[in-house]
A and B are shown apart, each in its own frame.
Chain A
Amino acid sequence: MTASADLAPSYELVVIGGGPAGLAAAALAARAGVSTVLFDENPGVGGQIYRAITSTPVKDRAILGEDYWDGAKLAEEAKASGALIVNGATVWSLDRQRIVGISIAGKARMIEAGRVIIATGSQERPFPIPGWTLPGVMTAGAAQTALKAQGLVASGRTVLAGGGPLLWLLAAQTLRAGGKIDAILDTMPRRNWLHAMFHLPGFALSPYFGKGMALLKEVRAKVPIHRADTIEAVGADRVREVLFSSGGETRRLPADLLLLHQGVVPNVNLANAAGVAHVWNDRQLCFVPVLDADFGSSVPGIAVAGDGAGIAGGTAAAERGRIAAIAAVRALKPDCIVPDTQAIRQRLQREEMGRSFLDLLNRPVDAFRQPAGNTIVCRCEEVTANQVRDTAKMGCEGPNQMKAFLRCGMGPCQGRLCGLTVAELISAERGATLDEVGYYRLRPPVKPITLAELASLPISEAERKAVER
């Protein structure tokens, strides 16, 4: 176990995040001869998609599916590469000078990086419906984490709601693991097919086509599926039932657990706090970093690989990590031998081929992204949709002013659960584009740290300087 005091003051390459992009990047760079450290905040590597790949109690390979076990090879390669892999390490700060703030077991350190690859992946898109803050309402991703890491499946009456590949994958994994799902509320409108069909030929050639079709068939055979135009979680102390409407007709389902999911979006927080420029991607309905062909960002020396660069899935993430790592190696040590990027780019292209189809098919409707009435938007500060809409009408032009007016996005989640919603609500109310509206200017610590952790930072040099000023 690496302690923060064991870390060198600087590394040629710092990789942040131990999912497929981070593992592949660290492995390639370390093998090429670059001093590489990979920081990952979980107890083991794998990221979300390969979570707990080295430790999962789920031994029946069929339950999580063969794609999950691809992660084992990536983890082994990274381990064998000579890269220093540090788990339980939270990166809470990164700036444009590539100073990395890290905390391990309650002790903080600042590390200098020659180059940085941010591989912090994706997060689930906020799904603000009435009652989503009630106990018993969770995200599908959280349920999947419990399954992978602890082998736990939900007991009690379980309703899944939303759409996107992960929702269907979780349903299949839960069923295979012996769990029961009472109903799935499909919120993806049928008209999405019309827009997506145009891109079907590309998708049909991608590796996801066959797998996706099989997954849908597997789940549909065992779970009743309802279309839903509106969803509400109802209960006084916790969720007791789910109210949903379809074609004007309202129905109720008793439920102990409601799992929500409407796709994933890049986790932009660390890159944003480091000053990386982002733009709105209208197909994926999220902000993505502005990147060059090697995944280099607008901040020199900082690259963003994996789903953090725009959603493309785990296999693509690894290829992106390799491309970013090759660029880093070339910049740091031009004499080192690196693989040819041509073959990697071709593989990446194949992986990305079906993405337009998936994005359009799984595009969440406005009503589930831009809530109305008293639906909570910011959970930390309990700010409602109406408050945000009214403040936007009053003249508030962007999320940063909204922060100052309503405190939304200023709680411990750093806007992860409200940022996109607030930006989209302002855009809708003001008739401005999302690029005009922008996103929160995020402030470190990107992950909360305790005063004690911060106080533990070794500061002899800084203290001397501070006294001089």
Chain B
Amino acid sequence: MARTADVVIIGGGIHGCSTALHLALRGLKPILIEKDYAGRHASGVNAGGVRQLARDVHEIPLSISSMDIWERIEELVGDDCGFDAHGTVLVAESEAELAGFRERVDDLNLRGFVHEELIDAAELRRLVPAVSEHCPGGVVSRRDGAADPFRTTQAFRRRAVEKGAEVIEGVTVTGLTRIGANWRVETSAGVFEAPRIVNAAGAWADRIAAMLGEPVPLSVVAPMLMVTSRLPPFIKPVVILRGRKLSFKQLENGTVVIGGGHLSTPYRDSNETVLDWEKLAISARTVWELFPAMHEATIVRAWAGIEAYMPDGIPVVGKSSTSEGVFHQFGFSTHGFQLGPGTGAMMAELVATGSTNTPIDGLGIERFQTKQK
């Protein structure tokens, strides 16, 4: 006997859990199927940056709507998720780089986006006193911040269940077929049926898309992070670079998380990653140059989370191009954590009503099919 639901969501990352919660809040009955456990991969082990800064223009509306939710996250999920808003600062390492940032901010302003703000050397030093003297300025997004990723994903999962969603973990989807008005979802724990499906399977989402006859050029990546032992507090905002890969953040407990997108080798079938220490050494040198105070900091752990990267670096969000009742929400290309809350709300609206007020133009899966022809 197949179990039935209004929607089957495949994947228990922040996106799947957020969509489950927002569907449940709309009175629908979703079943979420997760092959490991919620937050096991990128959603649970990312750097935790909650950032509107430096985003592709196509995803800025989702990022802004997400930010509105982040600012009342405790109201929504019953947990503050460790969110604090000390801003994100994009540091310019040269006058030429700063000039490029100025163009970007001007362009955003023309489009009506005002969250990015150019800052001079004095304001940069006020926000980030420890930054090296060679940096002439930067960009700040003041509402940005950081949160605890695993705690956040678990909070969405927990609240979704409280509101009527069912979350089934340790179960793999093995087949999808359309039968009448329903989708038949075959899994390692039996069959589920629902008229609608959301593919939020992250680094495994291309396999779901392939079952639907719409292959996507997804690559599996695992950006590396490392964390130091506890240091005295010396920096509040999240700091990122553009020319070199770096994201840098001191947590409340004093540890410093260093990331920025250097990649390890992922093995998605065994849930393993093999770190590339030569690239982490590049991160270490970047930190060394940017924050002289960090020289004797001790690295206690490095890791990587497996996720999906699209060729154009922006996610696949929207209706399937081939299959009625199927929706995609994957491919967040190493910056999907902040987008989770708002994308889940948008997706629930799209699934429930067939359309959404949040602009998602340019994010559809069809952009890959037309290119392939």
Chain A residues in the interface with B (C-beta under 8 A): 93, 95-97, 99, 101, 108, 110, 275, 397, 401, 404-405, 410-412, 414, 443-445, 448-452, 454-457, 459, 461-463, 466, 469
B228 at the interface (CB under 8 A from A): yes
- List of A residues within 8 angstroms of B39 by Cβ: 404
Neighbouring A residues of B37 by C-beta, 8 Å: 397, 401
Known contacts A110-B277, A448-B229, then 8 further A-B pairs from the complex at CB < 8 Å, ordered by chain A residue: A93-B277, A95-B274, A275-B272, A450-B295, A451-B297, A454-B277, A455-B281, A469-B263
A-B pairs with beta carbons under 8 Å apart, 12 shown: A108-B277, A275-B274, A410-B301, A412-B300, A414-B300, A452-B295, A454-B277, A457-B284, A459-B281, A459-B285, A462-B281, A463-B278
Q: Across the interface, which residues of B come within 8 angstroms of A97, CB to CB?
A: 274
- Taking a contact as CB atoms under 8 Å apart, the answer to whether B284 and A444 are in contact is no
What is the CA–CA distance of A411 and B229 in the complex, to the nearest angstrom?
A: 7
Closest partner residue, chain A, to B228 (CB atom): A451
Q: Of B229, B245, B279, B285, which one neighbours A455 at CB under 8 angstroms?
A: B285
Residues of A within 8 A of B299 (CB): 445, 448-451, 454
Considering residues B37, B151, B301, which has the most beta carbons from chain A within 10 angstroms of its beta carbon?
B301
Within the complex, which residue of B228, B263, B282, B303 is in contact with A463, where a contact is CB–CB below 8 Å? B282
B302 at the interface (CB under 8 A from A): yes
Q: Is residue B212 contacting chain A, with contact meaning CB distance below 8 A? A: no
> What sequence of 0s and 1s flags, for each residue 239-278 of chain B, a beta carbon within 8 Å of any chain A beta carbon?
0000001000000000000000011000000001011111
The answer, yes or no, to whether B294 is at the interface (CB within 8 Å) is: yes
Query: Chain B 287-306, CB within 8 Å of chain A: the 1/0 string?
Result: 11000001111111111000
Contact yes or no, A455 B288, CB < 8 A: yes
Contacts of A95 in B (CB 8 A): 274-275
Complex: chain B residue closest to A412, CB-CB: B300
The interface residues of chain B lying within 8 Å CB-to-CB of A452 are 284, 288, 295-296
Pick from B278, B295, B301: contact of A110, CB under 8 Å: B278
Whether A449 lies near B298 (C-beta < 8 A) is yes
Residues of B in contact (CB 8 Å), total: 35
> B40-68 CB contact bits vs A (8 Å, 1 = yes)?
00001000000000000000000000000
SS class, residues of chain B in contact with chain A? mixed
> Which one of B228, B277, B280 has the highest number of Cβ atoms from chain A below 10 Å of its Cβ?
B277
Given A404-B150, A412-B300, A444-B302, is A457 in contact with B295 using a C-beta cutoff of 8 Å?
no
The residue that B297 contacts in the complex, of A401, A445, A450, A463, with Cβ under 8 A, is A450
Tell me which of A401, A404, A455, A469 contacts B284 (CB under 8 A).
Answer: A455
Q: Which residue of B lies closest to A101 (CB)?
A: B277
Instruction: Give, as a whole number of angstroms, the nearest-CB distance from B4 to chain A.
Output: 25
Residue of chain A at shortest CB distance from B38: A401
- When distances are taken between beta carbons in the complex, the residues of chain B under 8 Å from A469 are 263
For A457, the chain B residues whose CB sits under 8 A away are 277-278, 281, 284
Q: Which residue of B lies closest to A456 (CB)?
A: B281
Is there contact, CB below 8 Å, between B279 and A466?
yes
Q: Return the CB mask of B15-41 against A: 1 if under 8 Å, else 0.
A: 000000000000000000000010100
Instruction: Report the nearest B residue to A457, measured CB to CB.
Output: B281
The 9 closest A-B pairs by CB, nearest first: A462-B278, A457-B281, A454-B284, A404-B150, A455-B284, A448-B298, A455-B285, A95-B274, A443-B303
- Considering the complex, give the chain A residue whose CB is closest to the CB of B258: A451
Residue in B closest to A401 when the chains form the complex, CB atoms: B37
Residue numbers in B under 8 Å from A411 (CB-CB): 229, 300
| CB-defined contacts of A275 to chain B, threshold 8 Å | 272, 274
- When chains A and B are docked, how far (Å) is the Cα of A450 from the Cα of B231? 13
Contacts of A466 in B (CB 8 A): 245, 262, 279, 282
